Structure 1
Amino acid sequence: MAHVVHGRMEIDVGIRSPPDKFHDVFSCRPHHISNVTPAKIQGVKLHEGNWGKVGSILCWDYVHDGEAKVAKEIIEAIDDEKNSTTFRVTEGDLMKLYKNFILIVQATPKEGGTGSVVHWTLEYEKLSEETPEPYSLLEFCVHVTKDIDAHLISGA
C-alpha cells in the first residue's frame, strides 16, 4: 500500500511588527526582502506582472541548507483584509522533489497586545515517498520572518 505523498505543515511565529506592515513586505515589496536577510535571500525579481498583484510571477534566489537555490513562484492570492499572501512554486529546485508546492503566509494581530502572529502553511505533493518532509524549509521561513520583523521594528 502506498503512503500518502500529500502533506501540509504549519507553524506560528510571534513577531513585534504590526500585521499589515509584515504583510505589505510579502505581498507588495518582496524584492526588499533580500536587503533585509541577504544571507538567506539574495534576490527577488519580477518575471511577469506587477509587484503586489495576483498572477505576477516572481523569481527567488535563496540559500537553503547551505546551497544556492532558485524558485519561480506565481502569486496565487493576496488578501489585504486577512494580511495573507499565497505563492505557488512553478519552477526551480523544489520542483525536483515536489509535484506541487504552495506557501501561504498570513499575519494576524496578537491577542491582547502589540505585534502579530505570522502563520506559515506549506502544502505540498511529493514526487515520491522517499522525498523528505520540508521541515528545514519551514525553519527557513521562520528565520526569514524574524529577520523581516527585526528590520521592521528597527524603523528602517
Structure 2
Amino acid sequence: MVLQGILETEIEIMAPAAKFFNIFRNQNHHIPNISDSIHAIELHEGDWETPGSVKQWTYTLDGNTPLSVKETVEEVDEQNKRVKFNCFEGEVLNEFKSFKSTVQVTPKDGEGSLVKWTIEFEKLNEDIPSPDAYLELVQKLTKDIDDHLVKP
C-alpha cells in the first residue's frame, strides 16, 4: 500500500472565478458565515492576506465532533487564481505526516467557473485510509460558497 497520495476533484460553479478566488485569497474570515461545515477561522499570526500567516480552522467531517487545524498559505498565484495551504497542526496530523491542499479557480467560457481542489498527503502508516472525507468537505464548502456568491 502507498503512503503518499493525491486526491483531486473538479466542481463547476456559477460564481465568477475572481469572486470565488477572493474568498480563499483574503476573505477566509467570512467562510464560517457561509458554510455550516466550518465553525470558525481564527487568525493567529500575520494577516488574512499574506502567505505565511497562521490561521486555525474549526470544522466538522461527516457531522461529527468539531476538529481543528492550523494552516499557512504557502503560495498565492493571482494570475492562475490558485492558493496552496499547508496544514501543520491539528487532528488531521494524527493520521498524516503531511497534508496540503490547493484550490484553483478557472473561468469558464460564458458564465461560471471550474474549481479544482487537490489534496496531497502522506499517511503515518499503511493502515490509514485515504482522506476522502476531506475531499467531501471541500466539495460541500465549494457548493456553499458558490450558493452564497450567486444568491440574489
Deviation of residue 136 (structure 1)? 1.4
Match of 2:59 among 52, 62, 68: 62
Deviation digits for residues 20-73 of structure 1 (CA, Å, limit 9, x no counterpart):
110100110111000001x20001011101111111111000111222100000
- CA distance in 2 between partners of 1:130 and 1:27 (Å): 35
Tell me which residue corresponds to 1:52: 49
TM-score, with structure 1 as normaliser = 0.94
- CA distance in 2 between partners of 1:20 and 1:44 (Å): 21
- CA distance in 2 between partners of 1:78 and 1:90 (Å): 18
Does residue 18 (structure 1) correspond to residue 28 (structure 2)? The answer is: no
- CA distance in 1 between partners of 2:55 and 2:82 (Å): 17
Deviation of residue 88 (structure 1)? 0.2
Count of matched residue pairs = 151
For structure 1, which runs of at least 5 residues remain unmatched after alignment?
A: none
- CA distance in 2 between partners of 1:71 and 1:8 (Å): 19
- CA distance in 1 between partners of 2:127 and 2:72 (Å): 27
- CA distance in 2 between partners of 1:88 and 1:25 (Å): 17
TM-score, with structure 2 as normaliser = 0.97
The CA RMSD over aligned residues, in Å, is 0.9
Tell me which residue corresponds to 1:99: 97
Letter of the 2:148 counterpart = H
**Identity rate, percent:** 39
- CA distance in 1 between partners of 2:137 and 2:22 (Å): 20
Match of 2:39 among 24, 34, 42: 42
For structure 2, which runs of at least 5 residues remain unmatched after alignment?
A: none
Letter of the 2:13 counterpart = I
Tell me which residue corresponds to 2:87: 89
Tell me which residue corresponds to 1:145: 142
